[in-house]
Amino acid sequence: MGRLKTLLGVTAVAHVALAWLVSLDAKKRGDDAGRWIALTLLTGVVGAAKYVRDGR
């Protein structure tokens, strides 16, 4: 159970960090940061990758 909690904690931190980075970049681009933050928080790397792909 301890390893599961650690894994979930690390995953949550990674999702929050990715969402923060996406929000900074979206705001710099003048894009709607809210939807990208939500997508990245929910999906993590998948949401961040979609943001990068759609942003070009």
Model confidence over 43-54: pLDDT tens digits?
A: 999 999 999 998
Residue from 43, 51, 46 nearest 21 by CA: 51
Output the pTM of the full model. 0.86
Q: In whole angstroms, what is the distance from residue 46 CA to residue 22 CA?
A: 12
Question: How many whole angstroms separate alpha carbon 35 and alpha carbon 23?
Answer: 9
| End-to-end Cα distance, the chain | 42
- List the pLDDT tens digit at each of the 56 positions of the chain: 899 999 999 999 999 999 999 999 999 999 889 999 999 999 999 999 999 998 75
- Residue 30 is encoded by which pair of tokens? 């003048």
